[in-house]
Amino acid sequence: DLQLFFDCAYQGFASGDAEADAVALRSFVEDGHQILLCQSYAKNFGLYGERVGALSAVCSSTEEKAALESQLKAIIRPMYSSPPIHGARIVKEVLGDATLRAQWTGECKEMANRIQEMRSLLREGLAEAGSTKDWSHITDQIGMFAYTGLSKEQVQKMRDESAVYCTLDGRISVAGLNRDNVAYVAAAIHAVSK
């Protein structure tokens, strides 16, 4: 048996629409699948230090729910006695108030649009730098990070020669790009990937 596990760290932040970001998850539940859902509010609420999130499960019966809850408590109890509550209260307040929720939704959309714009500018910058490679994966992806396809060696060379940093698997923070640095980053990527 397989267990379906959804990691929903960007809901509302991936596309700018929390409802659209939940379509796949809801489809699986509506089709009768039992799922586990991990949600984080670190990115979409800017609550990085608060460790706010949730683990939800769709179970087949109340007995299964009770058994799962018992096992989760046994796992969680040794890790922490009481989780911090400040961040959870902030999320509850925002989502529970129509005005604050509308503001949050609008801000998520603005950020999603900005990140998508940076993806487009990075791709355009790579072409302008002279790259003839297909960089469509940069604009096809969503979220705060992008896999560039750079190798570990290329990443290290880019660090050494241009002081542009990303993880060794080539994952770059698109959210860290802006109109002032995106051309420089594109040129640095092109320099190590040509």
pLDDT of residue 52: 87
Distant-in-sequence, close-in-space partners of 23: CB < 8 Å, separation ≥ 6: none
Residue 13 has phi, psi (to 5 degrees) of: -110, -25
Find, among 10, 36, 39, the residue nearest to 142 by Cα. 10
Q: d(Cα 167, Cα 109) in Å, to the nearest integer?
A: 27
Backbone angles phi, psi at 57, to 5 degrees: -140, 140
pLDDT along the chain (194 residues), means of 10: 86 87 93 93 86 90 95 88 85 96 94 95 98 96 92 98 97 96 98 96
pLDDT (0 to 100) of residue 43: 85
pTM, whole model, 2 decimals?
0.82
Q: Which two tokens stand for residue 151?
A: 């190798």
> What is the token pair recorded at 49?
């230090």
Q: What is the pLDDT of residue 168?
A: 97
pLDDT value at residue 121: 98
Q: What pLDDT shows up at residue 14?
A: 81
Beta strands per DSSP E along 24-95 = 35-40, 53-57
